[in-house]
Amino acid sequence: MAVGGLAACSSPGDGGGGGSTDGGLQTVTVLESSPGFFDLPIHVAMDDFDEQFGLNIDLTQVQGGGAAGQQFQGGTGDIAVTAADIPLRIQMQDSIPGGISIIGSNQFTMLYVMVAPADSDIDSMDDLVGKKVGITGPKSSSELVTRWAMSTKFGMNPEDTEFVALGSVPTILEGIRNGSVDAGILFSPALEQGLGDGSVKVVFDFRDFPNGQNVFYARNNDIEKDGSKFSSYMKAYTAAVEKMESDPDYAFAAAKKYYGTGLSDDVLHQILDFYLEKEWSETEFTQASYDASKDMLLNSSSGFEEATFPSYEEITKGAPTS
Q: What is the pLDDT of residues 210-246, one digit of tens each?
A: 999 999 999 999 999 999 999 999 999 999 999 999 9
Asked if the model's pLDDT at residue 9 lies above 50, the reply is no
What per-residue confidence (pLDDT) applies to 21?
Answer: 57
Asked if the model's pLDDT at residue 89 lies above 90, the reply is yes
Asked if the model's pLDDT at residue 13 lies above 80, the reply is no
Neighbouring C-alpha atoms within 13 Å toward the C-beta of 228: 16
Confidence label for 63 from pLDDT (cuts 50, 70 and 90): confident
Mean pLDDT (whole number) for 42-49 = 98
| Whole-number Å distance between alpha carbons of 157 and 152 | 10
What per-residue confidence (pLDDT) applies to 20?
Answer: 56
Convert 275-290 into a string of H (helix), E (strand) and C (coil).
HHHHHCCCCCCCHHHH
What per-residue confidence (pLDDT) applies to 4?
Answer: 38
| Whole-number Å distance between alpha carbons of 293 and 315 | 12
> What are the residues whose beta carbons fall under 8 Å from the beta carbon of 208, sequence distance 6 or more?
109, 110
Asked if the model's pLDDT at residue 263 lies above 50, the reply is yes
What's the gap between Cα 182 and its chain centre? 25
What per-residue confidence (pLDDT) applies to 23?
Answer: 66
At CA 151, angle to CA 132 and CA 143, rounded to 5? 45
What per-residue confidence (pLDDT) applies to 16?
Answer: 34
Confidence label for 17 from pLDDT (cuts 50, 70 and 90): very low
> In 219-250, which positions are buried (b, 16+ CB within 10 angstroms) versus exposed (e)?
bbebbeebbbbbbbbbbbbbbbbbbbeeeeee
